[in-house]
Structure 1
């Protein structure tokens, strides 16, 4: 059944005629008459008797009106509520984010976001695997250097430089045309040379392999070896002199993106979070608490 035709029948019946219903709804009498006729055709019964004296509901029309008038009001109220709700930043926002970013940043970010939008509850899952937003019911994903995916859209909200660091007492090799072996603390196997700005080419020789970048940072502070780390997680240690920066590795820059599933009709909570995250890093450079 066409709900629009049923709504027009209720409109005509409650106003007592096509003319009054037309004036109330600001729609033409011809349109309303056609909709009611279509409904009668679908049901196979006469709902309204039209005469020179005016409009009169048939027995079937009276029965249909009595059974649908209340529910149609509820449907109208529900549609209005949905439209109003669609303009409100509220509901649960489920976010997938890399583990390190979650540990160092998401707690404070989510608290500040909730302060702006108290109608939102936030659920963050911090892990490094690539989640399926639709199948796993995530609203938003934060990903470093994401592969192009036509199903997802979003914005790059910050960039993170990768820097080679070491303890102040750890000897820095001189620049030269050939790669220089250097004891290195790694979070994953890296056989590629670190081409540091300034002409230094380092070939990392693993002495420690650790599963967390925070462990790598702490081992570098303790003097175990050089490490290639995001600048965002070592800038405090650099400023305090616990580490020394040997240089930046330009070809390993990390772009952080906030992604969601739709170009059109993204929910207000998703739009609000994307805008909030981008505004949090106005210079486009990632900084994290120490």
Structure 2
């Protein structure tokens, strides 16, 4: 038995949730993956997985073994990546996780250029507003829009994301436009559910900070959906300036409370805390940061930050 191959098979089965999904990712058969895991269990004399006709679950021993194997494989992959980096060209697979809107606006338009620059890299891009477990999901780098709290991750700041309050003219035609943050309490506010403090919006004016409780008929984990709800006149939304600029320019949205600064939302690239940052991660970080700083969307961010 090739034990390393069996361990990788076991970890992949757990991460993908089934033998068939793991087999598809490996380009092999379900039977082959099942035999590798069974051989691993026989070799150790323990049961790692409980199999039913509908699902797989880890045994107590399997749970501990899985996390240790993930850590060991991460170290092995890191060592291999570091060795390859001595050759000066990133290779292998780069798994990236990013919010949907960020991926569509910032990564998607430049991904082809990145692949041309690094032809020996394969990119696996996952767009979701949910925060994934980087180790368990084998994510090399994730983009996150929030204040970071996980000390087990290394973060590289990309930019501070200026936010604005917006509403559609149709909403303002039936609701009195707020002139102070306190008046938001009487408005229908569309809330982004991925934030830690969902029902609290933060402002500053002349160096004085202010927080207000807000509520509304809808909360959502997608910035795109919140934008559409605002355009459709459902209520007031708090969104990045680069998301709303074209709709403000076209008159579909109106910026509110211009005398108050909405606290910016920082964007970071995060990756697992290893001794060496793999070359493929460094290459993507340098590339995307440069592209963001030279994009038209970022010019809007800089202009808003200085205004």
User: Do the aligned partners of residues 251 and 167 (structure 1) sit closer, same or farther apart at CA in structure 2, a change above 3 Å counting?
Assistant: closer
Q: By how many angstroms is 1:178 displaced?
A: 4.7
Q: By how many angstroms is 1:97 displaced?
A: 1.6
Q: Structure 2 regions of 5+ residues with no counterpart? A: 1-79, 301-307
Query: What SS is found at the alignment partner of 2:252?
Result: coil
Q: By how many angstroms is 1:177 displaced?
A: 8.3
User: Do the aligned partners of residues 158 and 283 (structure 1) sit closer, same or farther apart at CA in structure 2, a change above 3 Å counting?
Assistant: farther
Query: What SS is found at the alignment partner of 2:159?
Result: strand
Quote the residue 1:90 is aligned against.
91
Quote the residue 2:267 is aligned against.
256
Q: Structure 1 regions of 5+ residues with no counterpart? A: 1-78
Query: Using the alignment, how far apart are the partners of 1:134 and 1:203 within structure 2?
Result: 35
Larger mean CA deviation between 124-133 and 113-122 belongs to 124-133
Task: Name the TM-score, length of structure 1 as normaliser.
Answer: 0.59
Partner residue of 2:179 out of 175, 181, 199: 175
RMSD of the TM alignment (CA)? Answer: 3.6
Q: By how many angstroms is 1:85 displaced?
A: 6.2
Quote the residue 1:224 is aligned against.
234
Q: By how many angstroms is 1:136 displaced?
A: 2.5
Query: Using the alignment, how far apart are the partners of 2:158 and 2:141 within structure 1?
Result: 13
Higher helix share: 2
Q: Which has the larger radius of gyration?
A: 1
Quote the residue 2:288 is aligned against.
277
Show the 5 A alignment for 1:1-290: 82=83, 86-169=87-170, 170=172, 171=175, 173-176=177-180, 178-180=182-184, 181-188=186-193, 190-192=198-200, 195=203, 204-247=214-257, 250=261, 252-262=263-273, 264-282=275-293, 287=298
Q: By how many angstroms is 1:262 displaced?
A: 4.3
Query: Using the alignment, how far apart are the partners of 1:275 and 1:204 within structure 2?
Result: 38
Q: By how many angstroms is 1:235 displaced?
A: 1.3
